[in-house]
Structure formats: C-alpha cells, structure tokens
Amino acid sequence: MAATETPVVANEAAPATNGAPLGGRTVAADRRRLLAWYEPRRDAYPWRSRGPDPYVVLVSEVMLQQTQAPRVVPIFEAFLARFPHVRALAAAPVSDVIVAWAGLGYHRRAVALHRSARTIVEEHRGEVPRELGALRALPGVGPYTASAVASIAFGEPVAAVDTNVRRIAARYLLGREADEPPPGDVGRAADAWVPRVGSGDWNQALMDLGRDVCRPRPRCDACPFGACRFRAAGRRGGSSPRRQPPFEGSLREVRGRVLAALRAAPSTSEAALVADLAEPPERVAAAVAGLVDDGLATTDRDGRISLAS
C-alpha cells in the first residue's frame, strides 16, 4: 500500500476493514469492543488503580520501559512508599534511588528518573508537565514514554506507540506487519486512531492487547476485534521478535553484580570486587567504568568505588 493510501481513521463510521467484508463493522464499534475487553483489566496493576497521578504514571512508565509488569509491581510499590511524590524523589541522593531500583535492571533509568524529578522541581514548580515537548525534554523520556504520560495522566489524545502497539496498528489499520509499510505510515495511522476522549484507557488497552493477544503469532480467536484487515487477508503472523543476547555471562551481568556489591558496602576497591565476584580484572574494570560513565557509581582519588551520591 502506498503512503497516500494509508487509511485515516478519524471517521468513526469508517468501515473497520477494507471493503467491510466482516459484517459492516465500524471503527467506533470495534473501539467499544476493545474498551469493554479492557474494562476488567483497568485495575490489574497498582499504577492503574492509583488513578492518573502524573508522577505515578511517570514512575511506572519508566519502570515498564524494559521490565515486564509482574516484576515491576513489588518494586514500584516499595519505590512509591520510599518516594511518594516528585519532591521526595528529587531531594533524595541518587544512591538511594539506585538502591530502590534493585531488581529492575537497566539502572541508567534510575539515574534518568532522578534527574527528571530534579528538572520537574526546578523548572516546572514540582508539577509533571503535560506538553509532549516538555515531557520529551526530561532525561530518559523518549517519544513513547512522553505520549504514555500525556495520555494516561492528562488525557491528551496522542498515541503511545511501542513495539506492541505498532504491531496492532499495522495489522488492524493497514493489514500488514509493522515493518512493511513506508516509514511513518503506521505512526500516522495510530495517531488518527486515538479517540479524542479516553486516550489513556485506549493506549493501555492496546498495550494489553499487544502483549497478550495480538502477539507476533496472534491469538485472533481471543481478540476483541474478532477480525481485522490482517486476518482478512489470510495473514497469520509468526515472525519472532529479535531476542536479546543472553544476560548470563554478559558484561551487563557483571555490572549488576558490581552494583549489588556497592549496595551492600559503602565503598570498595576494584581488587576486592575481582576477588568477591571471581571475574577477570578487565571485566570488572569495564563494568566499573561503564557504571561511572552512566552516573551510577563514582571513584575517589584513592580508587575507592561507591554508588553515586
């Protein structure tokens, strides 16, 4: 399909499928189906049941960037008990935030979130901004996270397009896999699909659908849409997402073990880390250098290493 053929879904009465071969369903009717499917899931996670507190939404979205929801739940709750509002997070030393992040991995997010909290206090009077541009300017906040916060916390009618949502939008709206249309088509179609009211629920419903139903190998029989352009075209999906390299034996694993050691002791030396972790000195040195570069650790003039303060 050429770029000019991208369907615009602003028209609620538009047929949901090319040529409406599936009983004349409309975009509006399918939207209601998805939201009804989502309804019992509304309170599935604590960040949803707490209501649209922008700080809570920001914390949860940063945690969910690279960590699955079930793993996030207990850490999220302890994190909010320790830092209940943005000023508490901004006032804390970054080492406390790194300690509270234990178990989530990808600790650069902790440093970025802490910097975001300080930016919000210093530049936005302690209020998470609602404008996409201001959200994008926060450390560690990319286009997806900015749109998720803007829609969930503030009801801004913007699409939060991650890998899962991109897959659904491409299939449902364009009848194709996400990597097949010209660049920009899927994002534009997803933007036009967002309802003017209830964008937060809409985006979260699509996120759930992409994670649980419209997976790389879609479970169309369990889909609240029942059918779509992709399915009507006889497509069955099945391409596997690119797998991450194994964590075990990686430098990421060594970084995680160094961080765990730094959480347990106020400071240590590279030699002690080599002995404790039973890792080659060059791997420990590389892990420590990476942690220092990422703002997670510091070294003093005697070479003692500690969590960044």
- Residue closer to ligand SF4 (CB basis): 137 or 227: 227
127 catalytic residue (yes or no): no
Residue 2 φ/ψ, nearest 5 degrees: -75, 160
Q: Which residues 166-205 are close enough to bind ligand SF4 by CB under 6 A?
A: 168, 171-172
Output the smallest distance, CB 13 to ligand SF4, in A: 20
Q: Which of 5, 12, 61, 180 is catalytic?
A: 61
Output the smallest distance, CB 273 to ligand SF4, in A: 48
Strand partners, 307: 297
Between the two ends of the chain, the Cα-to-Cα distance in Å is 53
- Residue closer to ligand SF4 (CB basis): 83 or 230: 230
- Residue closer to ligand SF4 (CB basis): 48 or 231: 231
Q: How far apart are CA 292 and CA 150, in angstroms?
A: 32
Among residues 245, 228, 304, which one has the least CA distance to residue 272? 304
- Only one of the segments 51-59, 113-121, 228-236, 292-300 lies at the binding site for ligand SF4 (rule: CB under 6 A); that segment is 228-236
Q: How far is CA 36 from CA 44, 114, 193, in A?
A: 15, 37, 17
Of 99, 134, 137, 227, the one binding ligand SF4 by CB under 6 A: 227
Strand partners, 26: 15
- Residue closer to ligand SF4 (CB basis): 48 or 167: 167
Residue bearing tokens 């364009």: 174
- Only one of the segments 55-63, 75-83, 222-230, 260-268 lies at the binding site for ligand SF4 (rule: CB under 6 A); that segment is 222-230
Q: How far is CA 54 from CA 49, 60, 150, in A?
A: 13, 10, 8
Output the smallest distance, CB 7 to ligand SF4, in A: 15
Output the smallest distance, CB 1 to ligand SF4, in A: 16
Residue 230 φ/ψ, nearest 5 degrees: -65, -50
- Only one of the segments 122-130, 173-181, 183-191, 221-229 lies at the binding site for ligand SF4 (rule: CB under 6 A); that segment is 221-229
Total number of residues that touch ligand SF4 (CB under 6 A): 13
- Does residue 218 interact with ligand SF4 by CB under 6 A? yes
Q: How far apart are CA 59 and CA 79, in angstroms?
A: 9
Instruction: Count Cα atoms within 13 angstroms, Cβ side, for 27.
Output: 19
Among residues 308, 306, 249, 303, which one has the least CA distance to residue 280? 249
The residue type found at 12 is E
Output the smallest distance, CB 2 to ligand SF4, in A: 22
Kindly list the catalytic residues: 61
Q: For binding to ligand SF4 (CB under 6 A), which residues are involved? A: 168, 171-172, 213-214, 218, 220, 223, 225, 227-228, 230-231
